Amino acid sequence: MADWIEPPAKAPAFSLKATDGKTVKLSEFKGKAVVLYFYPKDDTPGCTKEACAFRDRLAEIQELGAVVLGVSADDVEKHKAFTAKYELNFPLLADTDHALCEKYGAWREKNMYGKISMGIQRSTYLIGPDGKVAKVWKKVSVDGHDEQVLEALKALNAE
The catalytic residue positions are: 47
Q: What is the DSSP string of 142-156?
A: STTHHHHHHHHHHHH
Using CA atoms, how far residue 33 sits from 87, 118, 135, in Å, is 23, 29, 11
Q: What are phi and psi of 55, to 5 degrees?
A: -60, -45
The verdict on whether omega for the bond into residue 8 sits within 30 degrees of 0, i.e. cis, is yes
Amino acid symbol at 40? P
Give the CA dihedral 3, 18, 140, 88, nearest 10 degrees.
170
CA distance 60 to 136: 20
User: Under a CB-based contact definition with an 8 Å cutoff, are residues 46 and 117 in contact?
Assistant: no
